[in-house]
Structure 1
Amino acid sequence: MAVSEFRQVDDLREPAPLGGRVSRETLGRQIANALRNQILLGELRPGQHLNQQQVCERFGVSRMPVRDAFMLLTYEGFVVDEGAGRLAVARLTRRDHEDVYMIEGILHGIACRRATEAATSDELIELKDLHERLASAVRARDGAAMATLNWAFHRRINQISASPKLTAALKPLAQSIPRELFSSVPSWGSKAVAVQQKLLAAMRARDAERAEEIMVKHVNEAGADFLKFLQGRGVDFAS
């Protein structure tokens, strides 16, 4: 996989730098995203050692962005430092994964409650437009568009909540969850459309408590569906 092949994946998490230039930091994140996806999909197995030179050759990059990627994955808990310069894929339990979705659900729920209280009529129209575009992408079975539009919908809610500290807390969680892989989960798209429809109804009714409840439940159920999908692919979580 060349760097150009996974650059679009990073675009789902954060816009590329102006002018199309890719910084070392951005390149490191892109490599981390690709390796993280392989870890989650079981293509890199728990305990498997990561060789810096091999990763450099695979992506056609220098050592610095690969080091950045390894540091990020170690910070996120996907990679462990065994000492003496040896890095290995972490042995993650099912609960480790569930905890990520539980925490994200709580934070997204708070953001949704605040957005429901603060949203203007124009902002609700923006969300409705994103929802309708997602529904069209689901009907067209356009996985890339589904991932992008679903991300945009949630991002807009976070922006409307006007809670920069909350958004900052969500960012590392968003980077550690493979949004672009969710569209591979059967029925994910139709479920996302149905949930957004309920959520918009609650927001239009200014029922902040109901909106928060819907969001928390949605994130946790989406996480459970994704873990079930991974197990169906033969991914074996540590006990």
Structure 2
Amino acid sequence: MGKGGESVRRKPIERHQTLREKILETIRDAILRGALKPGERVSEPELAERFGISRTPIREAFRQLESEGYLEVIPRKGAVVASLSERDVVEFYAIKSILEGHAARIAAERLSDRDIERLEAINAKLQQIAADGDVKSFFRVHDEFHDLFIKASGNDKLAELITQLVLKFNRLRLASLSQPGRMEISVQEHRKIIEAFRQHDGERAENLVRRTATIGAEVLIHSLAQEQGKKTPAPLGAVDV
């Protein structure tokens, strides 16, 4: 794995995590930090030696990381870091905005006062996490916010589709939240969504949730373009609309 492999091996790991979780977190973190670049091979033998295990749990971890969009497993070559394309970003967030927007429209008529209070509490927690700069914790709690209103829609099939979609594209979502100022923008957008829910305004709730997805896509596309030396307009979230 060369220089990227060294970065992976030096990553400190918490003891309480399971071995599989250690492997998953180590590789995810190395990719998100740029220690492992798109197209770079991730070596099974080096990971097996580092963790003192057989290759079977490593291959299982590779399969999960492939399903999340971090790796691509190529026959007779092994696992390599998957590339991120603008098309991937556009297509994922387009679908996400439609599904979650529809869930928000339905949920606006079903959320109780207690649900609204829970959303406010979650968003207050997100504000503190954003101030601390903890992207991983923000990512986890951010999911709690969206899961609450998606489940409140009462449409189990819709919730299942959204879950399957976001799991497959966790890398895109985490990469977007990792961009400077993105967590703070998310907290601001959540406040507007909560107010729409409080007013039981399904149309506005849907539009705001879809706007949030659009911001996520634009922030990530802007970042990808900068990495490639291209010029793009400032993301929508860079201004208060």
Structure 1 and Structure 2 fold alike (TM over 0.5): yes
Secondary structure of 1:206's match?
A: coil
Q: How many correspondences in the alignment?
A: 218
Indicate if the aligned counterparts of 1:2 and 1:60 stay in contact, CA closer than 8 A. Answer: no
In 2, the alpha carbon distance for the partners of 1:35 and 1:4 equals: 14
Contact 1:124–1:204 at 8 Å: present in 2 too?
yes
**Which residue of 166, 170, 176 corresponds with 1:177?**
170
**TM-score, scaled to structure 1:** 0.74
Verify: 1:48 aligned to 2:40, yes or no. yes
| Paired letter, 1:185 | Q
Per the alignment, in what secondary structure is the counterpart of residue 200 of structure 2?
coil
The change in CA–CA distance for 1:60 and 1:155 in structure 2 (over 3 A counts) is farther
- Mean Cα deviation higher: 192-201 or 98-107: 98-107
| Partner Cα separation in structure 1 for residue 178 and residue 38 of structure 2 | 23
Partners of 1:142 and 1:87 in 2: how far apart? 29
Gap change, CA 1:46 and 1:144, over 3 Å in 2:
closer
Determine the structure 1 residue equivalent to 2:237.
Answer: none
CA contact (8 A) 2:23 2:58 kept: yes
- Among all aligned residue pairs of Structure 1 and Structure 2, give the percentage whose two residues are the same amino acid: 26
Structure 1 residues 96 and 236: alpha-carbon distance in aligned structure 2, compared to 1, 3 A threshold? farther
Whole-angstrom CA distance in 2 between matches of 1:173 and 1:117 = 25
Unaligned runs of 5+ residues in structure 2 are 1-10, 231-241
TM-score of the two chains, using structure 2 as the length reference: 0.73
Counterpart Cα distance in 2 of 1:115 and 1:183? 25
**One-letter amino acid of the structure 1 residue matched with residue 64 of structure 2:** L
Does residue 206 (structure 1) correspond to residue 200 (structure 2)? The answer is yes
Partner secondary structure for residue 14 of structure 2: helix
2:89 to 87, 97, 114: 97
Matched, 1:186 2:180: yes
CA distance in 1, matches of 2:97, 2:148: 16
Task: Please give the residue correspondences for 1:109-128 in structure 2 after superposition, counting only pairs within 5 Å.
Answer: 109-128=101-120
- Does 2:166 align with 1:156? no
